[in-house]
Amino acid sequence: MHSFPTALLAVSVLSLGACSRQAPASSMITLRGTVLDSATSHPLAGALIQLRSDRSVSTTADPSGAFLLRVPRPLDGRLQLQVRFIGFTPALLERPLTQDSTQSVGQIRLVPSTVQLEDLVVTGHPPDTAALRRRKAAKPSKP
């Protein structure tokens, strides 16, 4: 009988501890924006948007390039986001925040970047014809 109340108390204490680590709802803000290719204005679906101070706070852009990211309100009132996509130069977005709980960061335009790779040389050799003849000779002929 003592084990059930003890277990219930332990679960309650752990739950309270987990809740106390979360930021209060009033200190959280939702950021919205769109990630686009600066050269073509096409959306960059799958672009990674991260809070610079805590990269575990992140999201990806949807097929239209749009994103929503819920972040803790910075104490200094300044937002720093890093935006990345393969084949583009990463962008760092820094701006002051208003008191609104939902804020638009607008369009984030990433600049295409090219990476020059070294030459790749592929060489081939003619097949070993003697080995091919041996394999062909080893196969029984069909009647």
Predicted model pTM: 0.63
Q: How many domains does the chain have?
A: 1
Domain presence at residue 20:
no
Binning pLDDT at 50, 70 and 90, where does residue 143 land?
Answer: low
Residue 141 has pLDDT above 80, yes or no: no
pLDDT tens string 121-140 = 888 777 777 777 787 777 77
Return phi, psi of residue 138, to 5°. Answer: -75, -20
Domain presence at residue 16:
no
Domain presence at residue 93:
yes
- For residue 62, give its domain range: 25-115
Give the whole-angstrom CA distance, residue 37 versus residue 85.
Answer: 10
Residue 8 has pLDDT above 80, yes or no: no
pLDDT tens string 14-47 = 333 444 344 454 688 999 999 999 999 999 999 9
Domain presence at residue 12:
no
Q: DSSP labels for 44-75?
A: -TT-EEEETTEEEEEEE--TTSEEEEEEEPPT
Give the whole-angstrom CA distance, residue 62 versus residue 49.
Answer: 11
The domain that holds 90 is classified in CATH as: 2.60.40.1120
Domain presence at residue 141:
no
Domain presence at residue 11:
no
